[in-house]
Structure 1
Amino acid sequence: MPGTGAHDVAIIGAGFSGIAAATALLKQGVDDFVMFERSEEIGGTWWVNRYPGAEVDLESHIYSFSFEPYDWTRTHASWQELLGYLQLVARKWRLYDKALLSTKVATVTWSESTKTYSIDTADGVTYGPFKAVISAVGFLNTPLIPPFLRGETAFDGDICHTSTWRDELTLKGKTVGVLGTGSSAVQIVTEAERQGRAVKVFQIEPNWLLPKGARDFTPAERRWNRFRFVYYYRRYKLYLGYDLRQHRASHARVGGRVNKKRQADAEAFLARETATRPDLKKLLTPSFSVEARRTVISDTYYQALLSPKVELVPHAVADVTPTGVVDALGKKHDLDMIVLATGFDAANYLSTFRVVGEGGLDLREQWTGGAEALLGLMTPNFPNFFMIFGPNTSGIPLVTYYEAQAKFAAKLVKKLATGRARKITVRKAVHDAYNRRLQRRLAQTVWTEVPSYFHGTSGKIISQWGFSPTSYLAGTRLARWFGVKLE
């Protein structure tokens, strides 16, 4: 187990992006690092999101590391398979030897005199110094809980957010209330309809849905996938499809060709699935464009809503009682279990720990108007501090972005580890020009239509990437050459 003393690098987080950072460092010959993970196991999102029905929205071949192919059983992997994959990769690269599990980072503090960071954990232990810190915690990690459900409540049954699901919980034979209609909600509604006695879905506003096409691979497909050429052909084909779809943000640009097609596909899917229930179709039709909020991918949600066991309540929950909830119209609903599929506090990047940079500046104060960084990687006044899945890097395929970001950080960290530099900062002029250009592009998209987790408190779009994945990969290389200053 790593000690509390000096190390070259600290990685905060041990999920997909943390593993990407660790393996990138090892490829660069940097092996003196510590991984801090607040959970009791490696796995990140796929350790904490273990609710019934949880699975990835992206295809397994593309939602995995390019350097670690795997014998996937499904086109879209379940949380169990993804967790097993991540832990397999961690064991192969001996990352458990570098990991401090059940260790929550509280504060990261820069020292100008030593050009290093120290890390204080929630249990009061100080680690370091570190020549560099890589944040690999993403931004979907602080659950949003309605005010009336925080702390102790009057409800006698089980209450659980999807990201804090407990293994002992069960949906079987229960009347389940699901708050929310996003990606997590549609998955758990399907399972609640299958296992429970009754389901009530509380919908503030509907989302657009597109079919997922999820299924098990056939034995023949799995045999073919074991051939390296076939595996990478399928991976590249998926990548190319996403790259073309997002060229010039066509999937989200107002009037974009891809956006128009996805709008037509979503409308046709809704009409087809609710052909026998025009009343339900009306309730499920959003008032905004496809992609204005995160488009939900599901083969089963509409069918679950057609079940006689399921009731769609087109109102928010306003209060909780010992036996259930009260909706916004004052109607009481008796429930055995309340599942919160209410999402995350995505507007506050790096909300799980505090970062103090040059001159004692707090990163949260710098980002008061909305988080921003050069390609989501580095931000002014915080030297030697790198981010994976930072501001404006939410794009598909996610793991490709993680690998590019990890490579950017690892190549620069190598310079610190080998003594070729002591301090690496982002060039403010480049950072500012980049963000102005990015926001001009984002202003042309449907993401500006309605409030969503894409926006910061100021209304600026802080999560989305407005170009193709290939342009992002090229950008990280250019940023390493022209966007940073070494001292």
Structure 2
Amino acid sequence: MTTEHFDAVIVGAGFAGIGAAIQLKRLGIDDFVILEREDDLGGTWYVNHYPGLAVDVPTTTYSYYFEPNPNWSRLFTPGPEIKRYADDVADKYDVRRHIRYSVNVEGARWDDDASVWRVALRDGTTLSGRYLLTATGFLSQPKIPDIPGIDDFDGRIIHTTEWQDDFDPAGRRIAVIGTGATAVQLIPELAKSAADLTVYQRTPIWVVPKIDLRFGAFAKKLFARIPATQRVLRWFTSSVYEVMVSVGVVHYKTFRGRGNISAADLSRLHRFVVIRDKDLRRRLTPDYDFGCKRPTFSNGFYRAFTRPNVHLQDVGIDHVQSDGIVGKDGTKVLVDTLVLATGFDLWEANFPAIEVIGREGRNLGKWWRDTRFQAYQGVSMPQFPNYLSLASPYAFLGLNFFNTMEYQMRLMDRLFSEVKRRGATTFEVTEEANARYLDRMTELLGESLFTQGNCASARSYYFNPAGEPTLLRPTTTETAIREATEFPLSDYRIA
């Protein structure tokens, strides 16, 4: 039963959903609702609050381009400050009043007769909207490892996305499963007070030193009084990262991996300086090219393994017992706390995060898996009118999500403005434009690290189940923004 109708329905109140809401308001569309499954906004920065949480790109670039924040405490800002920034932006742009919390969206179906989306909620109600925007993020569905016996464990089990703030690691015998970006931040914090900490590693991660500058009172006042100074700093840090991604990822073949080799050498030097145990250094060294799996920054990760209470286990887990973990080599480690730093299920549970049924019954998830993962400009698919998926194949611009959000907001501006100018009711990307875009992305990826480099053992979420690196958009931010503001309007059927 449809109870309410809106001009637009946004699914997700993280930074993508907030950005989409701000853009709708700029376009004069104020009759919209944001459906959020959590009880607060902020997306991953609300869900995640484990010890050591921080951004792993410079905070100078980690904000909306139109809303710089002069109050960051340091170059790699702790998570609570990012959450506070989300709150402040939502309040400033009057987004919060549009949000409905603790709402689980089951799916959405296009009603061709009425030219609206029917959005089904778990409580049995249905909302309708002229436009549908899914802003569910790339890191929204936790991955729970399927380990034999894990349900028989008698101790405490904590997934990093459901951190228990009352948990005190002091004196505990802890096992951490995973060595991804989250674990790199968490492990040094747990190591400080745990009686014993065993880290179960499947795939090593490239870690380079972190130059984490603190912004003092003078810098904050300067940023606040002369915003141009912060914009210059943002330009500088963004440019550095653009060069890194361009040389090391997008144009890997042209530069013959020289940038990746240099970054890997920096990581090796970091390990050599911190860890004197040659065998331990070897076990912590990845055998895939730098960049195949998301690398990260840390000054404490390698140092944690030099503590007498921290141990690396890399032979694999055979099964879990009530009081510990048995490795594939037969050894057993007694633990009372199991921490799952196993990341997120991007492809199976997140593409799409809800069931979306378009024109003529096309099921988005099934269509992606039966054909190929694809999305024109990273947001649109044929047979899905009036729909933008902000977390789609070819959407993510490398290291900084806000760059992705910037080009998507500009695309919204161009597309929705044209719909309004024509007095139209629907937009839909054409099959031809989508096919051309997919061919172009495939061609560009042929020059990239993911195709030309050694990525076979990386187990990277950049790759979809078919082995294609379709998460990242293999262009510069400048190119993405230009295309979002200049794409041929004929690529969409506007009627």
Matches within 5 A, 1:290-305: 290-305=290-305
Distance in 1 of aligned mates of 2:166 and 2:202: 29
Query: Which residue is 1:160 aligned to?
Result: 158
Query: Which residue is 2:440 aligned to?
Result: 437
Query: Which residue is 2:127 aligned to?
Result: 127
Q: 1:340 Cα deviation (Å)?
A: 0.8
Alpha-carbon displacement from aligned partner over 1:74-121 (angstroms, at most 9, x marks no partner): 211111111111011111112121001110111111011111101011
- Seen in structure 2, the aligned counterparts of structure 1 residues 240 and 134 have a Cα distance that, compared at 3 Å, is same
Task: Please report the RMSD computed on the Cα atoms of aligned residues, expressed in angstroms.
Answer: 2.0
Query: Which residue is 2:53 aligned to?
Result: 54
Query: Which residue type is aligned with residue 66 of structure 1?
Result: Y
Q: Is the 8 A contact 1:13 1:35 kept in 2?
A: yes
Q: 1:18 Cα deviation (Å)?
A: 0.7
Q: 1:284 Cα deviation (Å)?
A: 0.9
Q: 1:29 Cα deviation (Å)?
A: 1.7
Distance in 2 of aligned mates of 1:179 and 1:401: 30
Q: 1:447 Cα deviation (Å)?
A: 2.1
Distance in 2 of aligned mates of 1:251 and 1:414: 32
Percent identity over paired residues: 28
Query: Which residue is 1:376 aligned to?
Result: 378
Q: 1:302 Cα deviation (Å)?
A: 0.5
Distance in 2 of aligned mates of 1:387 and 1:480: 19
Query: Which residue is 1:421 aligned to?
Result: 424
- Seen in structure 2, the aligned counterparts of structure 1 residues 4 and 92 have a Cα distance that, compared at 3 Å, is farther
Structure 1 range deviating more: 193-202 or 244-253: 244-253
Query: Which residue is 1:311 aligned to?
Result: 311
- Secondary structure in structure 2 of the residue aligned to 1:6: strand
Query: Which residue is 2:267 aligned to?
Result: 266
Query: Which residue type is aligned with residue 115 of structure 2?
Result: K
Structure 1 range deviating more: 258-267 or 321-330: 258-267
Q: 1:195 Cα deviation (Å)?
A: 2.9
Matches within 5 A, 1:313-332: 313-332=313-332
Query: Which residue type is aligned with residue 291 of structure 2?
Result: E
Residue 19 of structure 1 pairs with residue 1 of structure 2 = no
Query: Which residue is 2:223 aligned to?
Result: 225
Query: Which residue is 1:386 aligned to?
Result: 388
Query: Which residue type is aligned with residue 445 of structure 1?
Result: S
Query: Which residue is 2:205 aligned to?
Result: 207
- Seen in structure 2, the aligned counterparts of structure 1 residues 483 and 273 have a Cα distance that, compared at 3 Å, is farther
Q: Is the 8 A contact 1:249 1:468 kept in 2?
A: no
Q: Is the 8 A contact 1:427 1:483 kept in 2?
A: yes
Distance in 2 of aligned mates of 1:170 and 1:370: 46
Distance in 2 of aligned mates of 1:101 and 1:51: 22
Distance in 2 of aligned mates of 1:340 and 1:149: 14
- Seen in structure 2, the aligned counterparts of structure 1 residues 418 and 37 have a Cα distance that, compared at 3 Å, is farther
Matches within 5 A, 1:17-166: 17-70=16-69, 71-128=71-128, 130-148=129-147, 153-166=151-164
Query: Which residue is 1:459 aligned to?
Result: 467
Distance in 1 of aligned mates of 2:490 and 2:77: 39
Q: Is the 8 A contact 1:179 1:202 kept in 2?
A: yes
Q: Is the 8 A contact 2:54 2:76 kept in 1?
A: yes
Distance in 1 of aligned mates of 2:365 and 2:116: 20
Residue 170 of structure 1 pairs with residue 168 of structure 2 = yes
Query: Which residue is 2:480 aligned to?
Result: 472
Distance in 2 of aligned mates of 1:414 and 1:164: 41
Distance in 1 of aligned mates of 2:372 and 2:307: 42
Q: 1:204 Cα deviation (Å)?
A: 1.1
- Secondary structure in structure 2 of the residue aligned to 1:201: strand
Residue 409 of structure 1 pairs with residue 415 of structure 2 = no
Structure 1 range deviating more: 394-403 or 378-387: 394-403
Unaligned stretches of 5+ residues in structure 2: none
Q: Is the 8 A contact 1:396 1:469 kept in 2?
A: no
Q: Is the 8 A contact 1:214 1:299 kept in 2?
A: no
Alpha-carbon displacement from aligned partner over 1:128-152 (angstroms, at most 9, x marks no partner): 1x111111112221111111379x7
- Seen in structure 2, the aligned counterparts of structure 1 residues 215 and 200 have a Cα distance that, compared at 3 Å, is farther
Distance in 2 of aligned mates of 1:350 and 1:14: 18
- Secondary structure in structure 2 of the residue aligned to 1:108: strand
- Secondary structure in structure 2 of the residue aligned to 1:148: coil
Q: Is the 8 A contact 1:138 1:350 kept in 2?
A: no
Distance in 1 of aligned mates of 2:273 and 2:443: 37
Structure 1 range deviating more: 420-429 or 405-414: 405-414
Alpha-carbon displacement from aligned partner over 1:31-85 (angstroms, at most 9, x marks no partner): 1111010000001010111111111101112111122222111211111111111
Alpha-carbon displacement from aligned partner over 1:364-383 (angstroms, at most 9, x marks no partner): 11011542101211011111
Extract structure 1 runs of 4+ deviating beyond 4 A: 248-252, 414-419
- Secondary structure in structure 2 of the residue aligned to 1:153: helix
Distance in 2 of aligned mates of 1:161 and 1:149: 17
Query: Which residue type is aligned with residue 284 of structure 1?
Result: L
Q: 1:415 Cα deviation (Å)?
A: 5.1
Q: Is the 8 A contact 2:152 2:322 kept in 1?
A: yes
Q: 1:411 Cα deviation (Å)?
A: 4.0
Q: 1:313 Cα deviation (Å)?
A: 0.7
- Seen in structure 2, the aligned counterparts of structure 1 residues 476 and 249 have a Cα distance that, compared at 3 Å, is farther
- Secondary structure in structure 1 of the residue aligned to 2:164: coil
Distance in 2 of aligned mates of 1:107 and 1:419: 30
Query: Which residue is 1:342 aligned to?
Result: 342
Query: Which residue is 2:185 aligned to?
Result: 187
Figure out how many residues of one structure are paired with residues of the other and give that number.
482
Unaligned stretches of 5+ residues in structure 1: none
- Seen in structure 2, the aligned counterparts of structure 1 residues 238 and 114 have a Cα distance that, compared at 3 Å, is same
- Seen in structure 2, the aligned counterparts of structure 1 residues 12 and 112 have a Cα distance that, compared at 3 Å, is same
Distance in 1 of aligned mates of 2:195 and 2:355: 44
Q: Is the 8 A contact 1:375 1:391 kept in 2?
A: no
- Secondary structure in structure 1 of the residue aligned to 2:198: strand
Alpha-carbon displacement from aligned partner over 1:320-372 (angstroms, at most 9, x marks no partner): 11112112222211112111111111123434310000111110110115421
Query: Which residue is 2:492 aligned to?
Result: 484
Q: Is the 8 A contact 1:425 1:484 kept in 2?
A: yes
Q: TM-score, normalised by structure 1?
A: 0.94
Q: Is the 8 A contact 1:249 1:467 kept in 2?
A: no
Q: 1:454 Cα deviation (Å)?
A: 1.2
Distance in 1 of aligned mates of 2:106 and 2:413: 24
Q: Is the 8 A contact 1:175 1:336 kept in 2?
A: yes
Q: Is the 8 A contact 1:106 1:352 kept in 2?
A: no
Query: Which residue type is aligned with residue 272 of structure 2?
Result: A
- Secondary structure in structure 1 of the residue aligned to 2:4: coil
Query: Which residue type is aligned with residue 367 of structure 1?
Result: W
Alpha-carbon displacement from aligned partner over 1:373-396 (angstroms, at most 9, x marks no partner): 012110111111102232122223
- Secondary structure in structure 1 of the residue aligned to 2:312: strand
Distance in 1 of aligned mates of 2:352 and 2:322: 32
Q: Is the 8 A contact 2:249 2:291 kept in 1?
A: no
